[in-house]
Amino acid sequence: MPELTYREAIRETLREALNNDNRVFLMGEDIGAYGGAYGVTQGLLAEFGEQRVKDSPIAESVLVGAGIGAAMGGLRPIVELMTINFSLLASDQIVNAAAKMLFMSGGQITVPLIIRTVSGGGNQLGASHSQCLEGWYAQVPGLKVVSPSTPYDACGLLRSAVAEETPVMFVEHSLLYNFRGPVPDEYYTVPIGEADVKRVGSDVTIVAHLRMVHVALQAAEELAEEGIEAEVVDLRSLRPLDTDTINESVMKTNRAVVVEEGWKTGGFGAEVVSSIMEHSFDYLDAPVARVAGQEVPMPYNRDLEQAAIPRPGDVVAAVKSLV
Amino acid sequence: MTTTERRLRTPTHEALGLTADDLLSMYTVMRLARALAERMWLLQRGGKTPFAVTAEGHEGVQVASAWALDRGRDMVLPYYRDLGVVLAVGMSAKEVMLNALGRAADPNSGGRQLPGHWFHAELNIVSGSSPVATQIPHAAGIALASKLRGEETVTAVYFGDGATSAGDFHEGLNFAGVHRLPVVFICENNGYAISVPSSKQAAVEDLAVRAAGYGFPGVTVDGNDALAVYGATREAVERARAGEGPTFIEAKTYRLAPHTSADDDRLYRSPEEVEAWRRRDPIERLRAYLIEWDLLDKRKDEAIGATVVEEVEEAVRLAEASPEPEPESALQHVFYEKG
């Protein structure tokens, strides 16, 4: 099976969407000649031209707002916001407009809009380039929020997003772009709303999304050396949330650690814990543990930054506190 | 005006390509908007609706500008005050009242959205959320879509003067300028953003000057002169349709009623000021023009008034008799579902 990087998987799927449907177009800042802040759209301008790959003013609200308009006007825009931190400048358009247009029109109009954006820290880019805000958007009815951790999932989820009539926040992670993984030549999709067991285990369930899936997998390898078999559940979609897969795993392992890169207070992990308490309480042998980012704006200095982001050792320690 | 004078002059409406029937229809729609607004206040004061937002004083801008569009083909993004716009585009009095009462049959949203947030796909009326100016980027996007699809559709987007202080106004106009989109931006400048006067909203006298910064024309018109508004809008629509890009129209007008039922306008403006503007009522002005050119007389005017009142009362009666949405439908239309 061919291997692609996460970046290539997204690019190839964008290319496929542009080829398959002439209503699809890309819009963003630096996505043309520059090829995207993280190089995802490299080469697409040359291949598809300015009508399909539109560099637009660096103004997030109108990028999303015009995307909403174009979607209502019958096209299928894929808007790139350089990072999820900057999505706050468009948060009114995302939350008050994109998510609600179908409802506020009594079902008259859909907004088939994809907002591709980048979450997470670890690049030494400081406090307003390194946040994990996807959980905020997952709170809003009317939006779907996906967060692939592998090239396979990125391709499969993007294909599903392209077929959606509901607006989708497609959240990528800045440290995953060079991550390589298998992407089959045969067409497949990853349905939005389905979590994935990335590692099978019997002793504890570790739930994570985006880059934390890899942190959890690394922790699981360390734990295995000590005879603890962890099951790693990759959420893949935050909304709709696949509570079945989470709880089936917890009912089997009887223990759970919920990991997220973002802040703990009000973090998305709390939603996962809540689901476990609702559905698996009687199966738990220990309280559910949480591992999350430190409650601090992301520091610039490398050591300070590393201290603020969960590491495999933190997950290992959390698991050991339960077994 | 004497008969000789009349013979020597070309009436403004004819110069603009409007027939007498056009003008009388516009006048009737303006009166319908006024009558509906007055009835909405009664419904709200009487506890039948929780909220009212009306258009008294804005009818000239609203109806005349919408008249310049290819109604049914062009896209219209009204804001919450645009009762006159949606009537001109084809929404019925009954549909307006179904909206005010939030009934299941309301074509705008089936009782899901606040009244005045007009949405009627069949009539190409697209509206949005409540924060001001946020519909402006949508208009740019809709125009982008029509341009990319090679259609000759024009998109008209409406907003108040307060919206020109918001970021989305700048972002939307800049985007439309850069991509040379077929949009007409229509600002109904009534001098107040709810209670905050123009002097505290903008450091320029005419908001239209801002268009220069976006690379397209801006014009200021007397918003209470329906014919002037029609002329300016028609020109802008023609420019847009010819691929020459956007125009910003600032129509200066005045809101004769409070901002909404949640407002008390006595706190920020004097009765004398309101009275002075009442004497410049756009409906009275068009009526005077029609009489001047013998297109209307007292009897005909009274007949129009009676028809309008009848239409409004019929609309209220039908809307009140129309069923409320089923509580079981409360969760519909959050996510798209096939079928």
* Of B216, B257, B205, the residue nearest B56 (C-alpha): B257
How many Å separate Cα B329 from the centre of its chain?
31
Same domain, A206 and A170: no
Q: Distance, in angstroms, between B338 CA and closest chain A CA?
A: 9
The pairing of beta strand B218-222 with beta strand B247-252: parallel
Distance, CA of A59 to CA of B5 (rounded, Å):
56
Within-domain flag for A190: no
B113: nearest CA in chain A?
A: A104
Within-domain flag for A189: no
pLDDT-above-90 percentage for chain A: 99
DSSP category for residue A158? H
Q: Do B138 and A65 touch (CB under 8 A)?
A: yes
Give pLDDT, residue B300. 97
DSSP category for residue B141? H
pLDDT at position B133 over 80:
yes
**A25-34: average pLDDT:** 95
Size of interface A-B (CB pairs under 8 A): 154
Same domain, A170 and A201: no
* Of A106, A114, A124, A126, the residue nearest A159 (C-alpha): A114
* Of B107, B87, B108, the residue nearest B312 (C-alpha): B87
Give pLDDT, residue B78. 98
pLDDT digits (tens, 9 = 90+) for A38-86: 999 999 999 999 999 999 999 999 999 999 999 999 999 999 999 999 9
Q: Residue B2: pLDDT band by 50, 70, 90 thresholds? A: confident
Q: Distance, in angstroms, between A41 CA and closest chain B CA?
A: 20
Q: Do A66 and B172 touch (CB under 8 A)?
A: yes
- Mutation target to probe the A interface, by most A beta carbons within 10 A, among B113, B119, B148 is B148
Within-domain flag for A191: no
pLDDT digits (tens, 9 = 90+) for A95-113: 999 999 999 999 999 999 9
Same domain, A29 and A127: yes
**B40-45: average pLDDT:** 95
Give pLDDT, residue B338. 84
User: What's the whole-number average pLDDT of chain A?
Assistant: 97
Give pLDDT, residue B174. 98
pLDDT digits (tens, 9 = 90+) for B17-36: 999 999 999 999 999 999 99
Give pLDDT, residue B250. 98
Same domain, A229 and A167: no
pLDDT digits (tens, 9 = 90+) for A219-254: 999 999 999 999 999 999 999 999 999 999 999 999
Residue labelled with tokens 């003013």: A57
B174: nearest CA in chain A?
A: A57
Q: How far is CA B158 from CA A183, B77, B105, B288, in A?
A: 48, 6, 26, 27
**A33-41: average pLDDT:** 94
Within-domain flag for A187: no
pLDDT-above-70 percentage for chain B: 99
Same domain, A16 and A107: yes
Half-sphere exposure of B133 (CA within 13 A, CB side): 18
If phi > 0 it is left, if psi is from -120 to 50 it is alpha, else beta; for residue A290 that is beta
Q: What is the CATH number of the domain that holds A148?
A: 3.40.50.970
Same domain, A137 and A212: no
Distance, CA of B135 to CA of A262 (rounded, Å):
32
Catalytic residue among A8, A80, A129, A214: A129
Q: Do B119 and A104 touch (CB under 8 A)?
A: yes
CATH superfamily of the B13-262+293-318 domain: Thiamin diphosphate (ThDP)-binding fold, Pyr/PP domains (3.40.50.970)
Within-domain flag for A74: yes
Of A182, A211, A227, the residue that ends a domain is A182
Distance, CA of A76 to CA of A25 (rounded, Å):
7
pLDDT digits (tens, 9 = 90+) for B260-279: 999 999 999 999 999 999 99
Give pLDDT, residue B7. 72
| Pair B34, B283: CB distance under 8 Å | yes
Give pLDDT, residue B128. 85
Sign of the alpha-carbon torsion through B261, B266, B269, B273: positive
Is any Cβ of chain B less than 8 angstroms from the Cβ of A102?
A: yes
DSSP B93-128: HHHHHHHHTT-TT-TTTTT-S-TT---BGGGTB---
Same domain, A225 and A152: no
Same domain, A130 and A217: no
DSSP category for residue A87? G
Within-domain flag for A301: yes
pLDDT digits (tens, 9 = 90+) for B306-331: 999 999 999 999 999 999 999 999 99
Same domain, A161 and A204: no
**B126-146: average pLDDT:** 95
pLDDT digits (tens, 9 = 90+) for B274-291: 999 999 999 999 999 999
Distance, CA of A240 to CA of A263 (rounded, Å):
21
Structural domain tally of chain A? Answer: 2
Q: What is the CATH number of the domain that holds A228?
A: 3.40.50.920
Whether this model's ipTM surpasses 0.95 comes out as no
The alpha helices in B74-208, defined as continuous H runs, are 83-89, 93-100, 135-148, 167-178
In terms of residue numbers, what domain contains A244? 196-322
pLDDT at position A10 over 70:
yes
| Catalytic machinery residues of B | 255, 259, 268
Q: Do A61 and B336 touch (CB under 8 A)?
A: no
pLDDT-above-70 percentage for chain A: 100
Residue labelled with tokens 């005006």: B1
Same domain, A140 and A228: no
A91: nearest CA in chain B?
A: B134
Q: What are B260's two structure tokens?
A: 């909404």
In the residue annotation, A129 being an active-site residue is answered as: yes
- Mutation target to probe the B interface, by most B beta carbons within 10 A, among A108, A144, A168 is A108
Q: Dihedral angle at the C-alpha atoms of B182, B188, B189, B191, nearest 10 degrees?
A: -160
Q: Residue B1: pLDDT band by 50, 70, 90 thresholds? A: low
Same domain, A154 and A205: no
Of A160, A182, A204, the residue that ends a domain is A182
| Pair A286, A292: CB distance under 8 Å | no
Same domain, A171 and A204: no
